[in-house]
Structure 1
Protein backbone atom coordinates (compact mmCIF):
# COMPACT_ATOMS: atom_id res chain seq x y z
CA UNK A 1 0.00 0.00 0.00
CA UNK A 2 1.56 3.31 -1.06
CA UNK A 3 2.11 5.98 1.56
CA UNK A 4 0.34 9.31 1.18
CA UNK A 5 1.47 12.65 2.50
CA UNK A 6 -0.42 13.58 5.68
CA UNK A 7 -0.51 17.34 4.94
CA UNK A 8 -3.85 19.03 4.36
CA UNK A 9 -4.73 19.08 0.67
CA UNK A 10 -1.53 17.34 -0.45
CA UNK A 11 -2.17 14.52 -2.92
CA UNK A 12 1.41 13.23 -3.16
CA UNK A 13 1.68 9.45 -2.87
CA UNK A 14 4.91 7.49 -2.73
CA UNK A 15 5.47 6.22 -6.27
CA UNK A 16 8.20 5.92 -8.86
CA UNK A 17 6.99 8.96 -10.81
CA UNK A 18 7.33 11.31 -7.83
CA UNK A 19 10.63 9.73 -6.84
CA UNK A 20 11.99 10.54 -10.29
CA UNK A 21 10.82 14.14 -9.79
CA UNK A 22 12.93 14.29 -6.62
CA UNK A 23 10.09 14.24 -4.09
CA UNK A 24 11.03 12.30 -0.99
CA UNK A 25 8.88 11.09 1.90
CA UNK A 26 9.85 11.39 5.56
CA UNK A 27 8.40 9.62 8.59
CA UNK A 28 7.30 11.57 11.62
CA UNK A 29 9.79 11.64 14.49
CA UNK A 30 9.21 8.68 16.80
CA UNK A 31 8.65 10.53 20.09
CA UNK A 32 9.14 13.78 21.89
CA UNK A 33 8.64 17.45 21.38
CA UNK A 34 9.68 17.39 17.72
CA UNK A 35 6.88 14.93 16.86
CA UNK A 36 4.42 17.19 18.66
CA UNK A 37 5.67 20.19 16.65
CA UNK A 38 5.18 18.27 13.39
CA UNK A 39 1.63 17.31 14.40
CA UNK A 40 0.79 20.90 15.35
CA UNK A 41 2.28 22.21 12.09
CA UNK A 42 -0.31 20.20 10.12
CA UNK A 43 -3.20 22.06 11.85
CA UNK A 44 -5.48 19.02 11.78
CA UNK A 45 -7.87 18.67 14.72
CA UNK A 46 -7.34 15.50 16.72
CA UNK A 47 -4.51 14.34 14.47
CA UNK A 48 -2.06 11.82 15.91
CA UNK A 49 0.63 10.41 13.65
CA UNK A 50 1.10 6.66 13.44
CA UNK A 51 4.35 4.79 12.80
CA UNK A 52 3.70 4.90 9.04
CA UNK A 53 2.60 8.55 8.77
CA UNK A 54 4.78 10.51 6.34
CA UNK A 55 5.18 14.01 4.94
CA UNK A 56 6.57 14.70 1.48
CA UNK A 57 9.52 16.97 0.80
CA UNK A 58 7.22 19.68 -0.61
CA UNK A 59 6.52 20.78 2.97
CA UNK A 60 10.14 21.51 3.88
CA UNK A 61 12.51 24.25 2.75
CA UNK A 62 15.46 23.27 0.58
CA UNK A 63 17.92 24.15 3.35
CA UNK A 64 16.18 21.66 5.69
CA UNK A 65 17.72 18.70 3.82
CA UNK A 66 21.06 16.96 4.24
CA UNK A 67 21.90 15.43 0.89
CA UNK A 68 25.60 14.75 1.45
CA UNK A 69 25.16 10.98 1.21
CA UNK A 70 23.17 8.81 -1.16
CA UNK A 71 20.01 9.18 0.91
CA UNK A 72 18.28 12.55 1.31
CA UNK A 73 17.69 13.14 5.01
CA UNK A 74 16.20 15.93 7.07
CA UNK A 75 18.53 17.85 9.34
CA UNK A 76 18.05 17.50 13.09
CA UNK A 77 15.33 19.65 14.64
CA UNK A 78 13.61 20.53 11.35
CA UNK A 79 9.86 21.20 11.41
CA UNK A 80 7.70 21.34 8.23
CA UNK A 81 6.73 24.91 7.35
CA UNK A 82 5.38 24.98 3.78
CA UNK A 83 1.67 24.26 3.54
CA UNK A 84 -1.23 25.37 1.37
CA UNK A 85 -3.92 25.85 3.99
CA UNK A 86 -7.44 27.02 3.11
CA UNK A 87 -8.60 30.38 4.46
CA UNK A 88 -10.20 28.97 7.62
CA UNK A 89 -6.88 27.39 8.68
CA UNK A 90 -4.69 30.41 7.85
CA UNK A 91 -3.18 32.20 10.82
CA UNK A 92 -4.11 35.84 10.92
CA UNK A 93 -1.32 38.39 10.86
CA UNK A 94 -1.46 40.60 13.91
CA UNK A 95 -1.68 44.29 13.12
CA UNK A 96 -0.97 47.04 15.55
CA UNK A 97 -4.14 48.81 16.45
CA UNK A 98 -3.57 50.09 19.97
CA UNK A 99 -3.24 53.79 20.67
CA UNK A 100 0.21 53.27 22.17
CA UNK A 101 1.62 51.51 19.10
CA UNK A 102 0.20 54.15 16.75
CA UNK A 103 1.66 56.89 18.94
CA UNK A 104 5.05 55.16 18.90
CA UNK A 105 4.99 55.07 15.08
CA UNK A 106 4.07 58.76 14.98
CA UNK A 107 7.12 59.64 17.09
CA UNK A 108 9.64 57.81 14.87
CA UNK A 109 12.33 59.97 13.23
CA UNK A 110 11.73 60.90 9.60
CA UNK A 111 14.55 58.68 8.25
CA UNK A 112 13.02 55.60 9.91
CA UNK A 113 9.61 56.41 8.48
CA UNK A 114 10.83 56.49 4.84
CA UNK A 115 8.72 53.48 3.92
CA UNK A 116 5.46 55.18 4.95
CA UNK A 117 3.68 57.15 2.23
CA UNK A 118 2.00 60.54 2.54
CA UNK A 119 -1.39 58.95 3.15
CA UNK A 120 0.02 56.70 5.87
CA UNK A 121 0.09 53.45 3.89
CA UNK A 122 3.29 51.40 3.87
CA UNK A 123 5.41 51.36 0.70
CA UNK A 124 8.17 48.97 -0.31
CA UNK A 125 11.46 50.34 1.02
CA UNK A 126 13.93 51.10 -1.74
CA UNK A 127 16.98 50.19 0.32
CA UNK A 128 17.13 47.09 2.42
CA UNK A 129 19.48 48.29 5.11
CA UNK A 130 16.90 47.40 7.74
CA UNK A 131 17.51 43.72 6.93
CA UNK A 132 21.18 43.86 7.87
CA UNK A 133 22.12 42.96 11.43
CA UNK A 134 23.52 45.86 13.42
CA UNK A 135 26.46 43.80 14.68
CA UNK A 136 29.39 43.22 12.28
CA UNK A 137 30.00 39.86 13.96
CA UNK A 138 26.54 38.71 12.89
CA UNK A 139 27.23 39.79 9.30
CA UNK A 140 30.55 37.95 9.37
CA UNK A 141 28.85 34.82 10.73
CA UNK A 142 26.29 34.95 7.89
CA UNK A 143 29.06 35.40 5.35
CA UNK A 144 30.99 32.43 6.76
CA UNK A 145 27.84 30.28 6.74
CA UNK A 146 27.21 31.23 3.11
CA UNK A 147 30.83 30.43 2.22
CA UNK A 148 30.52 27.00 3.83
CA UNK A 149 27.34 26.39 1.84
CA UNK A 150 29.03 27.45 -1.42
CA UNK A 151 31.98 25.12 -0.78
CA UNK A 152 29.59 22.27 -0.01
CA UNK A 153 27.63 22.87 -3.22
CA UNK A 154 30.84 23.05 -5.25
CA UNK A 155 31.93 19.71 -3.76
CA UNK A 156 28.53 18.17 -4.57
CA UNK A 157 28.76 19.51 -8.14
CA UNK A 158 32.24 18.06 -8.54
CA UNK A 159 31.06 14.68 -7.24
CA UNK A 160 28.08 14.72 -9.59
CA UNK A 161 30.30 15.51 -12.57
CA UNK A 162 32.62 12.63 -11.65
CA UNK A 163 29.65 10.25 -11.34
CA UNK A 164 28.38 11.39 -14.74
CA UNK A 165 31.80 10.86 -16.31
CA UNK A 166 32.05 7.34 -14.80
CA UNK A 167 28.58 6.50 -16.09
CA UNK A 168 29.47 7.70 -19.60
CA UNK A 169 32.67 5.64 -19.52
CA UNK A 170 30.72 2.56 -18.41
CA UNK A 171 28.23 3.05 -21.23
CA UNK A 172 31.07 3.48 -23.72
CA UNK A 173 32.64 0.19 -22.52
CA UNK A 174 29.30 -1.62 -22.87
CA UNK A 175 28.84 -0.54 -26.49
Structure 2
Protein backbone atom coordinates (compact mmCIF):
# COMPACT_ATOMS: atom_id res chain seq x y z
CA UNK A 1 0.00 0.00 0.00
CA UNK A 2 1.21 3.55 -0.69
CA UNK A 3 2.71 5.81 1.94
CA UNK A 4 0.87 8.90 3.11
CA UNK A 5 3.89 10.70 4.58
CA UNK A 6 4.07 13.22 1.72
CA UNK A 7 0.40 14.11 2.08
CA UNK A 8 0.86 14.61 5.83
CA UNK A 9 3.79 16.97 5.25
CA UNK A 10 1.84 18.84 2.57
CA UNK A 11 -1.14 19.29 4.92
CA UNK A 12 1.11 20.60 7.69
CA UNK A 13 2.78 23.06 5.30
CA UNK A 14 -0.56 24.26 3.84
CA UNK A 15 -2.00 24.89 7.33
CA UNK A 16 0.99 26.21 9.28
CA UNK A 17 3.66 26.92 6.64
CA UNK A 18 6.09 24.82 8.66
CA UNK A 19 7.94 21.54 8.10
CA UNK A 20 8.49 18.55 10.37
CA UNK A 21 11.45 18.90 12.73
CA UNK A 22 13.40 16.04 11.12
CA UNK A 23 12.73 17.09 7.50
CA UNK A 24 15.77 17.30 5.24
CA UNK A 25 16.51 20.06 2.76
CA UNK A 26 15.40 17.99 -0.24
CA UNK A 27 12.22 16.91 1.58
CA UNK A 28 11.34 20.55 2.27
CA UNK A 29 11.87 21.40 -1.39
CA UNK A 30 9.58 18.57 -2.56
CA UNK A 31 6.90 19.47 -0.02
CA UNK A 32 6.94 23.16 -0.98
CA UNK A 33 6.62 22.33 -4.69
CA UNK A 34 3.80 19.83 -4.15
CA UNK A 35 1.80 22.17 -1.90
CA UNK A 36 1.05 24.43 -4.88
CA UNK A 37 -1.57 21.90 -6.05
CA UNK A 38 -3.35 21.45 -2.69
CA UNK A 39 -5.76 23.53 -0.62
CA UNK A 40 -7.37 22.98 2.79
CA UNK A 41 -11.14 23.44 2.80
CA UNK A 42 -14.01 22.27 5.05
CA UNK A 43 -11.62 20.36 7.27
CA UNK A 44 -10.24 18.26 4.38
CA UNK A 45 -7.25 18.42 2.06
CA UNK A 46 -8.14 18.83 -1.61
CA UNK A 47 -6.04 18.62 -4.75
CA UNK A 48 -6.74 20.65 -7.88
CA UNK A 49 -6.61 18.45 -10.97
CA UNK A 50 -7.75 19.48 -14.46
CA UNK A 51 -10.13 22.13 -13.18
CA UNK A 52 -11.64 19.89 -10.47
CA UNK A 53 -11.06 19.49 -6.73
CA UNK A 54 -10.31 15.90 -5.68
CA UNK A 55 -10.64 14.82 -2.09
CA UNK A 56 -7.33 13.53 -0.75
CA UNK A 57 -7.45 10.04 0.78
CA UNK A 58 -5.44 10.05 4.00
CA UNK A 59 -5.51 6.46 5.34
CA UNK A 60 -5.38 2.82 4.24
CA UNK A 61 -8.87 2.19 5.55
CA UNK A 62 -10.34 5.03 3.48
CA UNK A 63 -8.43 3.84 0.40
CA UNK A 64 -9.84 0.30 0.77
CA UNK A 65 -13.35 1.70 0.99
CA UNK A 66 -12.83 3.65 -2.24
CA UNK A 67 -11.40 0.60 -4.05
CA UNK A 68 -14.26 -1.60 -2.85
CA UNK A 69 -16.84 0.93 -4.02
CA UNK A 70 -15.37 1.54 -7.48
CA UNK A 71 -14.19 -2.01 -8.24
CA UNK A 72 -15.85 -4.74 -6.17
CA UNK A 73 -19.27 -3.04 -6.10
CA UNK A 74 -18.93 -1.87 -9.72
CA UNK A 75 -19.14 -5.29 -11.43
CA UNK A 76 -15.40 -5.75 -10.95
CA UNK A 77 -14.51 -3.11 -13.51
CA UNK A 78 -11.17 -3.26 -15.25
CA UNK A 79 -8.10 -1.28 -14.29
CA UNK A 80 -8.57 1.60 -16.73
CA UNK A 81 -12.21 2.13 -15.88
CA UNK A 82 -11.61 1.89 -12.14
CA UNK A 83 -8.76 4.43 -12.22
CA UNK A 84 -10.78 6.82 -14.38
CA UNK A 85 -13.78 6.78 -12.04
CA UNK A 86 -11.67 7.12 -8.89
CA UNK A 87 -9.75 10.08 -10.32
CA UNK A 88 -13.05 11.89 -10.84
CA UNK A 89 -13.53 12.18 -7.06
CA UNK A 90 -10.47 11.08 -5.05
CA UNK A 91 -6.70 11.34 -5.05
CA UNK A 92 -3.75 9.79 -3.27
CA UNK A 93 -0.15 9.13 -4.23
CA UNK A 94 0.01 5.91 -6.28
CA UNK A 95 -3.59 5.45 -7.42
CA UNK A 96 -2.62 3.39 -10.47
CA UNK A 97 -0.35 1.01 -8.56
CA UNK A 98 -2.93 0.57 -5.81
CA UNK A 99 -5.69 -0.33 -8.29
CA UNK A 100 -3.40 -2.77 -10.08
CA UNK A 101 -2.48 -4.52 -6.82
CA UNK A 102 -6.12 -4.63 -5.71
CA UNK A 103 -7.32 -6.24 -8.97
CA UNK A 104 -4.45 -8.77 -8.90
CA UNK A 105 -5.55 -9.89 -5.42
CA UNK A 106 -9.24 -10.05 -6.38
CA UNK A 107 -10.37 -13.70 -6.49
CA UNK A 108 -13.37 -12.97 -8.70
CA UNK A 109 -11.23 -11.32 -11.37
CA UNK A 110 -8.63 -14.08 -11.29
CA UNK A 111 -11.25 -16.84 -11.64
CA UNK A 112 -12.81 -15.29 -14.72
CA UNK A 113 -12.40 -17.12 -18.01
CA UNK A 114 -9.28 -15.83 -19.70
CA UNK A 115 -9.87 -13.81 -22.82
CA UNK A 116 -8.72 -15.60 -25.93
CA UNK A 117 -5.63 -14.00 -27.34
CA UNK A 118 -6.01 -12.69 -30.89
CA UNK A 119 -4.58 -14.94 -33.53
CA UNK A 120 -1.21 -13.86 -34.87
CA UNK A 121 -1.28 -12.19 -38.29
CA UNK A 122 -0.76 -14.36 -41.34
CA UNK A 123 2.83 -14.35 -42.58
CA UNK A 124 3.72 -14.70 -46.25
CA UNK A 125 7.01 -15.73 -47.77
CA UNK A 126 8.57 -12.85 -49.73
CA UNK A 127 10.50 -15.08 -52.16
CA UNK A 128 9.38 -14.79 -55.76
CA UNK A 129 7.19 -17.70 -56.81
CA UNK A 130 6.77 -19.07 -53.26
CA UNK A 131 3.14 -19.48 -52.16
CA UNK A 132 3.87 -20.41 -48.54
CA UNK A 133 1.92 -18.72 -45.76
CA UNK A 134 1.53 -19.38 -42.06
CA UNK A 135 -2.20 -20.01 -42.58
CA UNK A 136 -1.92 -22.64 -45.34
CA UNK A 137 1.41 -24.10 -44.18
CA UNK A 138 1.45 -24.03 -40.37
CA UNK A 139 4.23 -26.63 -40.33
CA UNK A 140 6.68 -24.12 -41.82
CA UNK A 141 8.59 -21.51 -39.87
CA UNK A 142 8.95 -17.92 -41.06
CA UNK A 143 12.06 -15.84 -40.41
CA UNK A 144 12.52 -12.05 -40.57
CA UNK A 145 15.15 -10.53 -42.81
CA UNK A 146 18.39 -9.76 -40.94
CA UNK A 147 19.45 -6.19 -40.16
CA UNK A 148 23.08 -6.69 -41.16
CA UNK A 149 23.49 -5.18 -44.64
CA UNK A 150 25.58 -7.88 -46.33
CA UNK A 151 23.55 -10.77 -44.94
CA UNK A 152 20.28 -9.04 -45.87
CA UNK A 153 21.59 -8.51 -49.42
CA UNK A 154 22.30 -12.24 -49.77
CA UNK A 155 18.79 -13.03 -48.51
CA UNK A 156 17.35 -10.66 -51.11
CA UNK A 157 19.35 -12.33 -53.89
CA UNK A 158 17.96 -15.73 -52.91
CA UNK A 159 14.43 -14.28 -52.71
CA UNK A 160 14.81 -12.47 -56.07
CA UNK A 161 13.75 -9.22 -54.42
CA UNK A 162 15.25 -5.77 -53.82
CA UNK A 163 15.40 -3.32 -50.92
CA UNK A 164 12.25 -1.58 -52.13
CA UNK A 165 10.25 -4.79 -51.68
CA UNK A 166 11.17 -5.13 -48.00
CA UNK A 167 8.74 -4.19 -45.25
CA UNK A 168 9.07 -4.32 -41.47
CA UNK A 169 7.57 -7.81 -41.19
CA UNK A 170 8.88 -9.33 -44.43
CA UNK A 171 10.18 -12.86 -43.97
CA UNK A 172 11.25 -16.05 -45.73
CA UNK A 173 9.88 -19.50 -45.02
CA UNK A 174 11.97 -22.49 -43.97
CA UNK A 175 11.68 -24.01 -47.46
CA UNK A 176 14.56 -21.84 -48.67
CA UNK A 177 17.08 -23.00 -46.04
CA UNK A 178 19.13 -26.16 -45.90
CA UNK A 179 18.57 -28.47 -42.89
CA UNK A 180 22.08 -27.62 -41.70
CA UNK A 181 20.96 -24.01 -41.14
CA UNK A 182 18.78 -25.07 -38.19
CA UNK A 183 19.94 -25.97 -34.72
CA UNK A 184 18.13 -27.70 -31.87
CA UNK A 185 17.63 -25.48 -28.81
CA UNK A 186 17.18 -26.52 -25.19
CA UNK A 187 13.40 -26.82 -25.59
CA UNK A 188 13.79 -29.28 -28.45
CA UNK A 189 12.72 -26.81 -31.16
CA UNK A 190 14.54 -26.04 -34.38
CA UNK A 191 15.86 -22.48 -34.58
CA UNK A 192 17.54 -20.74 -37.49
CA UNK A 193 21.22 -19.97 -37.04
CA UNK A 194 22.06 -16.24 -36.88
CA UNK A 195 24.46 -16.52 -39.84
CA UNK A 196 22.20 -18.72 -41.99
CA UNK A 197 21.92 -17.85 -45.69
CA UNK A 198 19.02 -19.14 -47.85
CA UNK A 199 20.31 -21.31 -50.69
CA UNK A 200 17.15 -22.93 -52.08
CA UNK A 201 15.67 -20.70 -54.78
CA UNK A 202 12.13 -21.21 -55.97
CA UNK A 203 12.03 -22.12 -59.66
CA UNK A 204 8.94 -20.81 -61.42
CA UNK A 205 8.09 -22.16 -64.85
CA UNK A 206 6.65 -19.43 -67.05
CA UNK A 207 4.71 -20.07 -70.22
CA UNK A 208 6.20 -18.42 -73.29
CA UNK A 209 2.92 -18.54 -75.20
CA UNK A 210 -0.55 -17.58 -74.08
CA UNK A 211 -3.04 -20.44 -74.41
CA UNK A 212 -6.22 -19.27 -76.16
CA UNK A 213 -9.50 -19.95 -74.42
CA UNK A 214 -12.19 -22.19 -75.84
CA UNK A 215 -14.50 -19.31 -76.64
CA UNK A 216 -11.84 -17.79 -78.88
CA UNK A 217 -12.33 -20.62 -81.39
CA UNK A 218 -16.06 -19.94 -81.67
CA UNK A 219 -15.41 -17.08 -84.06
CA UNK A 220 -15.28 -18.13 -87.72
CA UNK A 221 -12.03 -16.26 -88.44
CA UNK A 222 -10.21 -17.19 -85.25
CA UNK A 223 -7.91 -19.75 -86.89
CA UNK A 224 -6.87 -17.37 -89.66
CA UNK A 225 -6.33 -14.58 -87.15
CA UNK A 226 -4.24 -16.87 -84.97
CA UNK A 227 -2.05 -17.94 -87.91
CA UNK A 228 -1.58 -14.38 -89.12
CA UNK A 229 -0.68 -13.21 -85.63
CA UNK A 230 1.90 -15.97 -85.29
CA UNK A 231 3.43 -15.03 -88.66
CA UNK A 232 3.67 -11.38 -87.68
CA UNK A 233 5.27 -12.30 -84.37
CA UNK A 234 7.89 -14.45 -86.14
CA UNK A 235 8.93 -11.58 -88.41
CA UNK A 236 9.52 -9.15 -85.52
CA UNK A 237 13.15 -8.68 -84.54
CA UNK A 238 13.40 -7.85 -80.82
CA UNK A 239 16.80 -6.27 -81.40
CA UNK A 240 15.39 -3.84 -83.96
CA UNK A 241 15.38 -0.26 -82.59
CA UNK A 242 11.86 0.16 -83.91
CA UNK A 243 10.67 -2.75 -81.79
CA UNK A 244 8.92 -1.44 -78.68
CA UNK A 245 9.02 -3.98 -75.86
CA UNK A 246 6.45 -2.01 -73.87
CA UNK A 247 3.74 -3.16 -76.25
CA UNK A 248 4.46 -6.80 -75.48
CA UNK A 249 4.03 -6.18 -71.76
CA UNK A 250 0.45 -5.13 -72.37
CA UNK A 251 -0.38 -8.65 -73.56
CA UNK A 252 1.49 -10.45 -70.77
CA UNK A 253 -0.90 -9.58 -67.99
CA UNK A 254 -1.07 -12.32 -65.36
CA UNK A 255 -4.90 -12.41 -65.28
CA UNK A 256 -7.43 -11.66 -67.98
CA UNK A 257 -9.25 -9.10 -65.85
CA UNK A 258 -6.08 -7.08 -65.26
CA UNK A 259 -6.17 -3.83 -67.19
CA UNK A 260 -3.00 -1.93 -68.07
CA UNK A 261 -2.73 1.10 -65.86
CA UNK A 262 -0.89 4.26 -66.92
CA UNK A 263 2.76 4.28 -66.00
CA UNK A 264 2.90 5.94 -62.53
CA UNK A 265 6.57 6.69 -62.99
CA UNK A 266 6.49 8.44 -66.36
CA UNK A 267 9.25 10.76 -65.24
CA UNK A 268 11.70 7.91 -64.64
CA UNK A 269 14.42 7.51 -67.29
CA UNK A 270 17.58 5.39 -67.50
CA UNK A 271 20.50 6.40 -65.33
CA UNK A 272 22.58 7.84 -68.18
CA UNK A 273 19.74 10.01 -69.42
CA UNK A 274 18.92 10.98 -65.84
CA UNK A 275 22.41 12.29 -65.19
CA UNK A 276 22.35 14.16 -68.49
CA UNK A 277 19.01 15.72 -67.67
CA UNK A 278 20.21 16.84 -64.24
CA UNK A 279 23.10 18.76 -65.74
CA UNK A 280 20.87 20.57 -68.22
CA UNK A 281 18.34 21.88 -65.68
CA UNK A 282 18.13 25.67 -65.90
CA UNK A 283 19.21 27.10 -62.52
CA UNK A 284 20.02 30.62 -61.26
CA UNK A 285 23.57 31.61 -62.04
CA UNK A 286 26.30 32.06 -59.45
CA UNK A 287 27.52 35.33 -60.91
CA UNK A 288 26.80 37.19 -57.66
CA UNK A 289 29.12 34.92 -55.65
CA UNK A 290 31.84 35.36 -58.26
CA UNK A 291 31.44 39.13 -58.06
CA UNK A 292 31.62 39.02 -54.24
CA UNK A 293 34.78 36.90 -54.38
CA UNK A 294 36.33 39.35 -56.85
CA UNK A 295 35.40 42.31 -54.67
CA UNK A 296 36.88 40.70 -51.55
CA UNK A 297 40.13 39.82 -53.30
CA UNK A 298 40.70 42.87 -55.56
CA UNK A 299 38.21 45.46 -54.25
CA UNK A 300 36.75 45.74 -57.75
CA UNK A 301 33.02 46.23 -58.28
CA UNK A 302 31.22 45.31 -61.53
CA UNK A 303 30.10 47.95 -63.96
CA UNK A 304 26.55 48.28 -62.67
CA UNK A 305 24.32 50.97 -61.30
CA UNK A 306 25.16 52.75 -58.08
CA UNK A 307 22.33 50.97 -56.27
CA UNK A 308 23.50 47.53 -57.41
CA UNK A 309 27.08 48.22 -56.39
CA UNK A 310 25.90 49.35 -52.94
CA UNK A 311 23.85 46.17 -52.52
CA UNK A 312 26.83 44.06 -53.54
CA UNK A 313 29.11 45.88 -51.09
CA UNK A 314 26.65 45.30 -48.22
CA UNK A 315 26.19 41.65 -49.17
CA UNK A 316 29.96 41.12 -49.21
CA UNK A 317 30.06 41.79 -45.45
CA UNK A 318 28.48 38.37 -44.90
CA UNK A 319 31.28 36.55 -46.71
CA UNK A 320 35.03 36.21 -46.50
CA UNK A 321 37.93 34.62 -48.36
CA UNK A 322 39.77 31.90 -46.41
CA UNK A 323 42.73 30.44 -48.31
CA UNK A 324 41.17 31.65 -51.54
CA UNK A 325 37.83 29.91 -50.84
CA UNK A 326 34.62 31.94 -50.50
CA UNK A 327 33.09 31.30 -47.06
CA UNK A 328 29.84 32.41 -45.44
CA UNK A 329 31.04 33.98 -42.17
CA UNK A 330 27.76 34.85 -40.46
CA UNK A 331 27.86 31.50 -38.62
CA UNK A 332 30.54 29.64 -36.72
CA UNK A 333 32.28 27.73 -38.12
CA UNK A 334 32.13 29.42 -41.55
CA UNK A 335 30.39 27.57 -44.38
CA UNK A 336 31.84 27.01 -47.82
CA UNK A 337 29.99 28.64 -50.73
CA UNK A 338 29.88 26.69 -54.04
CA UNK A 339 30.32 28.93 -57.07
CA UNK A 340 29.15 26.82 -60.02
CA UNK A 341 26.48 24.29 -60.87
CA UNK A 342 28.86 21.33 -61.18
CA UNK A 343 30.02 21.85 -57.59
CA UNK A 344 26.43 22.03 -56.37
CA UNK A 345 25.54 18.80 -58.20
CA UNK A 346 28.56 17.11 -56.63
CA UNK A 347 27.43 18.20 -53.15
CA UNK A 348 23.88 17.00 -53.73
CA UNK A 349 25.09 13.66 -55.02
CA UNK A 350 27.38 13.23 -52.02
CA UNK A 351 24.76 14.00 -49.38
CA UNK A 352 21.73 12.42 -51.08
CA UNK A 353 22.67 9.69 -53.55
CA UNK A 354 25.65 8.39 -51.57
CA UNK A 355 24.01 8.63 -48.14
CA UNK A 356 20.97 6.39 -48.51
CA UNK A 357 18.59 8.67 -50.50
CA UNK A 358 17.16 10.36 -47.41
CA UNK A 359 14.39 12.94 -47.55
CA UNK A 360 14.85 16.66 -48.07
CA UNK A 361 14.85 17.57 -44.38
CA UNK A 362 17.63 15.17 -43.38
CA UNK A 363 19.74 16.00 -46.45
CA UNK A 364 19.38 19.75 -46.00
CA UNK A 365 20.36 19.62 -42.34
CA UNK A 366 23.49 17.64 -43.24
CA UNK A 367 24.42 19.99 -46.10
CA UNK A 368 23.82 23.11 -44.00
CA UNK A 369 26.55 22.06 -41.58
CA UNK A 370 29.26 22.51 -44.23
CA UNK A 371 27.87 24.50 -47.19
CA UNK A 372 25.74 27.53 -47.93
CA UNK A 373 24.11 28.97 -51.04
CA UNK A 374 20.90 30.90 -51.46
CA UNK A 375 18.97 28.34 -53.57
CA UNK A 376 19.85 25.27 -51.52
CA UNK A 377 16.24 24.32 -50.71
CA UNK A 378 15.04 24.64 -54.31
CA UNK A 379 18.08 22.85 -55.75
CA UNK A 380 17.72 19.95 -53.32
CA UNK A 381 13.99 19.62 -54.01
CA UNK A 382 14.59 19.47 -57.76
CA UNK A 383 17.42 16.98 -57.31
CA UNK A 384 15.26 14.62 -55.23
CA UNK A 385 12.31 15.00 -57.60
CA UNK A 386 14.52 13.80 -60.49
CA UNK A 387 16.08 10.90 -58.55
CA UNK A 388 15.06 7.60 -60.13
CA UNK A 389 15.50 5.64 -56.90
CA UNK A 390 13.40 8.05 -54.81
CA UNK A 391 10.60 8.11 -57.36
CA UNK A 392 10.34 4.32 -57.39
CA UNK A 393 10.53 4.15 -53.61
CA UNK A 394 7.84 6.80 -53.13
CA UNK A 395 5.34 5.54 -55.64
CA UNK A 396 5.80 1.84 -54.92
CA UNK A 397 3.20 0.22 -52.68
CA UNK A 398 3.23 -3.22 -51.11
CA UNK A 399 0.55 -5.11 -53.02
CA UNK A 400 -0.16 -8.83 -53.26
CA UNK A 401 -2.53 -10.54 -55.66
CA UNK A 402 -5.62 -11.99 -53.94
CA UNK A 403 -6.35 -14.68 -56.55
CA UNK A 404 -6.03 -18.19 -55.12
CA UNK A 405 -2.72 -19.77 -56.07
CA UNK A 406 -1.17 -16.52 -57.38
CA UNK A 407 2.08 -15.55 -55.65
CA UNK A 408 2.71 -12.23 -57.41
CA UNK A 409 3.39 -9.18 -55.28
CA UNK A 410 5.01 -5.80 -55.84
CA UNK A 411 8.60 -6.88 -56.47
CA UNK A 412 11.36 -6.39 -59.03
CA UNK A 413 10.37 -9.46 -61.05
CA UNK A 414 6.74 -8.38 -61.33
CA UNK A 415 7.75 -4.83 -62.21
CA UNK A 416 10.04 -6.19 -64.91
CA UNK A 417 7.13 -8.18 -66.37
CA UNK A 418 4.96 -5.07 -66.44
CA UNK A 419 2.36 -6.44 -64.02
CA UNK A 420 -0.06 -4.01 -62.40
CA UNK A 421 -2.27 -4.46 -59.33
CA UNK A 422 -5.84 -3.18 -59.00
CA UNK A 423 -8.05 -2.84 -55.92
CA UNK A 424 -11.52 -4.32 -55.72
CA UNK A 425 -14.28 -1.79 -56.27
CA UNK A 426 -17.26 -1.73 -53.92
CA UNK A 427 -19.63 -1.19 -56.87
CA UNK A 428 -18.70 -4.64 -58.23
CA UNK A 429 -20.37 -6.43 -55.31
CA UNK A 430 -24.05 -7.38 -55.73
CA UNK A 431 -26.55 -5.33 -53.75
CA UNK A 432 -28.17 -6.85 -50.69
TM-score by length of 2: 0.18
Larger Cα Rg: Structure 1 or Structure 2? 2
